[in-house]
Copies of this chain bind each other. A is one copy, B any other.
Amino acid sequence: MSTRRATISDVAREAGVSPSTASVVFSGKTKVSDATRRRVLDAASALGYTGPDPRAASLRRGRSGIVGVVFEEHLGTAFLDPVKTLMMDGLSDGVAPLGAGLLLLRDTEPDGGTSLTTAPLDAAVLVGCSGHLRRSLDAVKARGIPVVVIEGDAGDDVPRIGLDNREAQRQAASHLRALGHTRVAIVALPARAGWEGGWILDGTAITVDVTRERLAGALDVFPDAAAYAAAGSFIDEGLAAGRLIFADPAERPTAVIAQSDLLAAGVIRAAEEAGLRVPQDVSVTGFDGIVVDGLAPYELTTLVQPAADKGRAAGRAVTAMLDGDGAASISFTCDFREGNTTGPAPA
């Protein structure tokens, strides 16, 4: 048998037309008479030709139809976070008009592997650029391909998809204050990469933007609140933090502001463990507005962030940039949602 795969020229020859005509049959860029289309298609199936080679097409077109998504963490870790997962969904939508697929990339690339510098990308989306993704950013900028950053700051020339973290968190805090709470504790996201969990003290440097901004929002309302930064956004981390916070009955806060819904879920569990009722004895707020699997019957009082919209916006931004239009930074707004985990401060 023939050892070589058929090319579009083979098909054209078999069909008795020119290669360009055959090409057009597949791309649909120009009108073709039904008769010739038919002949070309028949020839193609006779030769087992399944369509243009994407590699050649992308060279010729200058587009690969691939958008890289860069995470700082290990893939498995990244997707443990429902917010990131939703964002991917939105991103997937956002690049749809481009007809692009998403290539998963990690910040730290194994040697010789496909990386930002060697992958055939049309554009890239960096997720959570808190100083860490700097190298990736440089690589991408050097290649001159469009980039946008979600949840992070990459300088003025890189469009940024953000969130009103500080204002939103302030809203939740104000809600608690209005309910009469004064003794409040904060359970924060990690202060920096590799953070193992611990209290945030005066000298603690917080390099994660999201953590810093949400903390600032809470402190705007409760300047004296103590904050414990967990090692990650997990229920079990919230549980651990909650145990610390509820350990001393004398110092017990009447409300806990958690920086994520998962942390909040853990805090609630810790409260139950300590024999505290939510919200009668202690109020808890979350952040994100995701569905926390297994949290029923509680409905968190939380800030609902438009995670999927953020992804979609990022997709649209790179699409616009590829079309030669500029893309501006966008800041999204959270929605305050009152659930049944907050109530009046106990007397």
Contact = CB atoms under 8 A, between A and B. Distances in A.
A158 to B, nearest CB: 17
Contact of A144 (B5, B102, B114, B266): B5
A235 B294 contact: yes
Given A75-B88, A120-B54, A142-B50, A265 B236 contact: no
A260 to B, nearest CB: 12
A236 B59 contact: no
Given A114-B99, A296-B236, A82 B85 contact: no
Interface stretch (A32-40, A61-69, A162-170, A211-219): A61-69
Given A55-B62, A269-B294, A80 B74 contact: no
Interface residue SS majority, chain A: mixed
Contacts of A65: 114, 118-119
A121 B106 CA distance: 19
A68 B266 CA distance: 36
B101 A102 contact: no
Contacts of A105: 101
A103 interface: yes
Contacts of A66: 66, 103, 114, 119-120
Nearest to A308: B76
Contacts of A234: 293
A284 interface: no
A265 B110 CA distance: 37
A117 interface: yes
A290 to B, nearest CB: 10
B101 A54 contact: no
Nearest to A262: B293
A275 interface: no
A96 interface: yes
12 contacts: A5-B144, A50-B142, A51-B143, A55-B55, A65-B114, A66-B103, A66-B114, A99-B110, A100-B114, A101-B104, A101-B119, A239-B294
Given A48-B142, A58-B58, A266-B294, 20 more contacts: A51-B118, A66-B66, A66-B103, A66-B120, A75-B89, A76-B308, A80-B85, A99-B112, A99-B113, A99-B118, A100-B113, A101-B113, A101-B114, A101-B115, A101-B119, A104-B104, A120-B120, A236-B296, A239-B296, A269-B294
